[in-house]
Amino acid sequence: MPTMRYREALNQALREEMQQDEKVFLMGEDIGVFQGAFKVTAGLLEEFGEKRVRDTPISENTIVGMGVGSAMLGLRPVVELMTVNFSLLAMDQIVNHAAAIHYMFGGQVKVPMVIRMPQGAGHQLGPTHSHSFEAFYLHVPGLLVAVPSTPADAKGLLKAAIRDDNPVVFIEHETLYGQRGDVPENGGPMRFGEAAVRREGDDVTVIGISRMAITAQKAADTLAEEHEIEAEVIDPRTVRPLDLDTILDSVKKTNRAVIVEEGWPHGGVGANLAALIQEQAFDWLDAPVQRVTGADVPMPYSKPLEQAAFPHEEHVIQAVLATFRDL
d(Cα 23, Cα 271) in Å, to the nearest integer?
A: 39
DSSP of 55-84:
E--S-HHHHHHHHHHHHHTT-EEEEE-S-G
Asked if 292 contacts 323 with a C-beta cutoff of 8 angstroms, the reply is no
Asked if 116 contacts 172 with a C-beta cutoff of 8 angstroms, the reply is yes
Peptide bond into 241 cis (omega under 30): yes
Secondary structure in 3-state letters for 200-264: CCCCEEEEECCCHHHHHHHHHHHHHHHHCCCEEEEECCEEECCCHHHHHHHHHHHCCEEEECCCC
**Catalytically annotated residue among 97, 102, 129, 131:** 129
**Catalytically annotated residue among 17, 60, 80, 174:** 60
Asked if 184 contacts 152 with a C-beta cutoff of 8 angstroms, the reply is yes
Asked if 308 contacts 295 with a C-beta cutoff of 8 angstroms, the reply is yes
Amino acid (1-letter code) at residue 279: E
129 in active site: yes
Amino acid (1-letter code) at residue 5: R
Q: At what angle do helices 151-163 and 6-20 cross, to 10 degrees?
A: 30
d(Cα 240, Cα 209) in Å, to the nearest integer?
A: 12
Query: Exposed, middle or buried: residue 228 (CB in 10 Å: 0-12, 13-18, 19+)?
Result: exposed
Angle at 133 between CA 309 and CA 102, to 5 degrees: 175
173 in active site: no
Amino acid (1-letter code) at residue 65: G
- Catalytic machinery residues: 60, 129
